[in-house]
Amino acid sequence: MKFSLIIATYNRADYLRDTLASLAELKTAESWELIVVDNNSSDATRAVVEEAAERFPVELRYFFESEQGKSAAMNTGVRAARGDVLAFTDDDVRVEADWLDRAGEALDRHACDFVGGKVLPIWGGARPAWLPDHSGQHWAVIALLDYGPEPIELVNRSPLGVNMAIRRDVITQMGLWWDNRVGRQGNTLRGQEQREWCMRARAAGLRGFYAPDMIVHHIVPQDRLNKRYFRRWMYWNGISRSILFAMSGMDIEGREQATHGQEGATQIAGVPLYLFRRLLGRCVDVIKARVRRDSVGAFEQEMRAWFYAGVIREQWNQRKKSPSVEMRAASPASTKQ
């Protein structure tokens, strides 16, 4: 079998139903299967999958994963997969009809191990004036991505899990499973599983490419088109980055960098002093932007402030949990977020 398409889902039966209808329209001459992993849903997820399976054009298989966490569900899907290429998306998408073929072509064209493509928006409500209509920091919050019209090797960038394909043998042979400690669990907004996986993959010598013709359209629901959601996401992003740093020393502020910390950094209550300075600096920038009546710039700086608040909160929590363990502190000179 050429492709195994894997979706992890949690209490999103209504979204999933429409996504399955979209996936049924995929066109490829290659053999493929669809695997849906239910991660402890309490809604009608199983019934939706079983109903769709009756008329789906290829085999649609349902699995249940009791360990809470998207990474755990994805790993269950990988174990069950029979295809040479594993394609991943989410339960709230619409795909281009040639999506699987584009993924396979990109893997072959670039002779690489994994690829990811564009993730474009389907706005579930009016886009606010403070939310740009192009790729950037704001788009990361709502899982959108567009690196442009040309292929790019993913050296210091990661694809999004909503639009990614991997050669199956690189996972099973090299043990590159997703780490459930850093991924989305339940209703939290924790999420660094993709970044962590890509860094381990590159450390193992694997190569990935951005494939611009591999396109997924991602629904951005109305309840995420507000500043409250963006603040909460950035706060959890800071928590997630801090957890990842505590585990492996991966840079807190940079994109895809590893760091060994800064020995002897001045600390307050177990948290490096420079993180407090970062937070204070962003708060000052918010005030300056508001004085200039730059509401868009003010919110951008506020989002960064919430990120540092999350980092500080988690580093403090890690100290309280393990007071005898020396926490590494990311270098102040590291690349900014």
151-179 per-position pLDDT tens digit:
999 988 889 999 999 999 999 888 888 88
Q: Give the model's pLDDT for residue 132.
A: 85
* CA separation for the pair 337, 322 (Å, rounded): 27
Residues of the chain with pLDDT under 70: 185-187, 254-265, 320-337
Q: Give the model's pLDDT for residue 306.
A: 95
| Spans of all domains in the chain | 3-225, 228-321
CATH number of the structural domain 3-225: 3.90.550.10
SS3 37: strand
Please report the sign of the dihedral spanned by the C-alpha atoms of residue 101, residue 104, residue 109, residue 114.
positive
Q: Give the model's pLDDT for residue 1.
A: 96
Q: Give the model's pLDDT for residue 4.
A: 98
Which string of DSSP letters, residue by residue, matches 62-112? EEE--S-SHHHHHHHHHHH--SSEEEEE-SSEEE-TTHHHHHHHHHHHTT-
- 19: tokens are 């996504």
Q: Give the model's pLDDT for residue 301.
A: 93
Cα–Cα–Cα angle for 99, 169, 159, nearest 5°?
45
Which string of DSSP letters, residue by residue, matches 154-213? -SS----TTSEEEEHHHHHHHT----TTSS--TT-----HHHHHHHHHHHTT--EEEEEE
Q: Give the model's pLDDT for residue 169.
A: 93
312-335 per-position pLDDT tens digit:
998 888 776 654 333 333 332 333
Q: Give the model's pLDDT for residue 333.
A: 31
Burial class (CB in 10 A: 0-12, 13-18, 19+), 108: exposed
SS3 readout for 103-148: HHHHHHHCCCCEEEEEEEEEECCCCCCCCCCCCCHHHHHCCCECCC
- 203: tokens are 């450390």
SS3 309: helix
- 175: tokens are 């043990």
Please report the sign of the dihedral spanned by the C-alpha atoms of residue 283, residue 285, residue 290, residue 294.
negative
Q: Give the model's pLDDT for residue 133.
A: 83
Q: Give the model's pLDDT for residue 177.
A: 87
Burial 275-289 (b: 16+ CB within 10 A, else e): beebbeebbebbeeb
pTM: 0.86
